[in-house]
Every structure is written in structure tokens, then in C-alpha cells.
Amino acid sequence: MRQNGALRRAERVEPEWLDPSSGTTVWVDLAAPAAGELQHLSDTFHLHPLSVEDAQSSLQFPKAEPYQGYLYVVLHGIDARKGKHSFATRDIDFFLGPNWLITVHDGESTSVAHLRELCDRHDRLLAEGPVGLFHRIVDTMVDHYRPVMDALEHRIDNLEEEAFSGQRELARRMLTLRHELAQMRRVLMPQRDVLGRLARREFAAISDEMAYRFRDVYDHVVRLADEAILYQDRVTGILEVNLASISNRLNQVMKVLTVMSTIFLPLTVLSGMWGMNTKLPQFPGGEASQFWWVTGIMVAVAVAMLAVFRRNRWM
């Protein structure tokens, strides 16, 4: 529990703290809470059972739902996994009341941890009220998306440089990257809608001043969502270029094999004819020179066919 000094937890909330006219800001931060803790908060802050049930769920899509006396918001933070080309998203549940804020997460939210440290050093952050604190947490969550998007762009740039190499394993890397971008879009698009509702002041808890602040966060999310769409299109184009490069290399191989087969076809006919037991017209010089005559004819035919292929630009 936090009271201007930003206390983290308390077993019991004093009723007078819930009075909006007291000028007290209360922040309850629950990291991986047990069912009993959420039930205790539900009884103290009069939370609706449906919102408490959603907060207990490990995965909820971003949304904003007004309840009697408070606003329930679910947003997703991002967590880059070190050493892997992937990321994870974690939802944070916000219960925003007149003078209190409750955050529920799995205990690995860097955004909440960052704000908790700031509140310990600067009491003025809590003096801004629960909506101001809520905005700061959301703004920090959105800022953490930027390094992940930059890393994805760097991977796309590397794939563009390797696309013309025709490596088959690139296709798997591209499909993995496109899947990650699709996951990013599935998170950003509904989150953009939620922040848009906050920016348009659809809820009484959001003042005009705070709506302007949320509008700035909304603009950042819109840019991130647009970049995710653009990056996904780039990956699709790179994949097509890579497949075309592989196809061209295969065509070149098939062209060489076809030319070789075409050249050896008449040579096989000639060797078969003079290898038969039947009598064929003899070349000058007798039987001792037959082999050299046939070999010379084969070489002449091969050279003539290569000349024709070269002249017609078939090879």
C-alpha cells in the first residue's frame, strides 16, 4: 500500500484512505498475488467479481471496462528474451479508482518496478494522483517496445542482405520473424484501441489534461503498430525474393543439365550405331581408323551444338 510515501503493501486498507476528499493517493502493487489477496482487495475496494476474475487470468487481451466507482484496464508490457530472437508479452491489470490505483502482474514487470523505484525517491509522482501514476506506468510500458522494434528492424536489414544468397534456411528465419511481427500486431492493435479511448476521454476518471498525455502515448502506439505492419510487408517481400533466387539457381542448374543431355543424345546414337554387330559403311583407312573417325564426328557434333546454343543464347 502507498500513501504519499508510496508504501508497497499492507494487509488492510483503512476506510478513511478511500475518501477522495482526503487528498491521499493509494497504490497497491500485487506481484503474482494469491487468490486470497485479490479477494481481500475486492472486499476492501468493492471490486466487481468479474474484473477480479479477469485479473486472476494469466492472459487477457488489452481492454478498458468501466465499473461502478472505478475503471478496469488491461494492457500488455513487453519483455525481450536475452540471447533469443523472440520476445514475450505480459499483461498488467489496472484498477483505477478516485484516489487509488491497483496493479496486478506476474512479478516480472520492469515498468512497474521502475515506477516503484521512482516513487520511493520522489513523492511528487504520487502527488499527481492515481491517473497520473497510471499514465506514467503505461508510458514506460510503451517506451519498452521501441528497443524490441529496433531489434526486429535490424534483423530485417540483415535478412535483406542475405536474401540474394539463395540459402534455403533463410526461409525458416523469415517465417519465424513474420510470426513474431504478427504477434506484435495482435498485441499492439487492441492496445492502440484502448489508449485511443483513454485519449478521447471516454471515461470520467480521465481529465482533459490527462487525456492530452494519453494522446501522446496513443501516437507512439500507432507508430509502433504501423511499423509492425510495414515490417511484416518487408519480410514478405524478402521471402519472395529469396524464393525467386532459389528458383533462378535451380533453373540455371536445370539449364546446364538439359544442355548436357541434349549434347550427349546424338553422341549416344552415334556410339550405338557403330557399336552394333551389323555392317555399316566403313570410313577410309580401314577398321583401324574407325574409332578415330567416330570420335571425331562426335566431337564435331558436340562443338556444333554448343555453337548453336551459344548463338541463340540458350546458355
294-311 pLDDT, tens digit per residue, is 788 788 888 888 887 777
pLDDT given for residue 110 in this prediction: 83
Band (pLDDT 50/70/90 cuts) for residue 3 is very low
Candidates 3, 6, 38, 30; CA nearest to 17 is 3
User: Per the structure block, which three cell numbers stand in for 17?
Assistant: 484512505
User: pLDDT digits over 169-206, tens only?
Assistant: 788 888 888 888 888 888 899 999 999 999 988 898 88
The rounded mean pLDDT for the chain is 81
96 strand-pairing partners? 71, 101
Task: Report the share of the chain in percent with pLDDT over 90.
Answer: 21
Pairing of strands 26-31, 63-67: unpaired
Identify the band that residue 73 occupies on the pLDDT scale cut at 50, 70 and 90.
Answer: very high
Which has the higher per-residue pLDDT, 281 or 213?
Answer: 213
Instruction: Identify the CATH number of the domain defined by range 247-311.
Output: 1.20.58.340
Question: Assign residue 16 a region: left if phi > 0, alpha if psi is -120 to 50, beta otherwise?
Answer: alpha
Whether 274 has a pLDDT exceeding 80, the answer reads no
pLDDT at 63 over 50: yes
| pLDDT value for 82 | 52
Where does CATH 3.30.460.20 sit in the chain? 1-141
Specify the CATH superfamily of domain 1-141: CorA soluble domain-like (3.30.460.20)
Nearest partner of 92 among 82, 78, 100, 80, judged by Cα: 78
pTM: 0.73
Using the predicted structure, report yes or no on whether residue 246 has a pLDDT greater than 90: no
Per-residue pLDDT, 228: 92
User: Residue 119 in contact with residue 152, Cβ under 8 Å?
Assistant: no
The residue that leads in pLDDT, 290 or 230, is 230
Mean pLDDT of the 67-93 span: 81
Q: What is the pLDDT of residue 160?
A: 84
Assess contact for 224 and 188: CB atoms under 8 A: yes
What whole-number distance in Å separates Cα of residue 171 and Cα of residue 293?
53
pLDDT tens-digit series, residues 87-126: 778 889 999 988 899 999 887 788 888 888 888 787 777 8
Check residue 55 and give its pLDDT: 87
The owner of cell 519480410 is 235
Query: What is the structure's pLDDT at 10?
Result: 41
CATH 1.20.58.340 domain position(s) in the chain = 247-311
The helix (H) or strand (E) run that includes residue 63 is strand 63-67
Neighbours of 99 (CB within 10 A): 17
Q: What is the DSSP string of 78-139?
A: EEEPTTSS-EEEEEEEEEE-SSEEEEEE-S--HHHHHHHHHHHH-THHHHT-HHHHHHHHHH
| Predicted pLDDT at 315 | 67
pLDDT in tens, 7-54: 344 444 455 767 777 777 888 888 888 777 788 888 888 889 899 888
C-alpha distance across the termini of the chain, in Å: 79
Q: How far apart are CA 157 and CA 234, in angstroms?
A: 10
Q: What is the C-alpha separation between 55 and 33, in angstroms, rounded?
A: 10
Predicted pLDDT at 136: 92
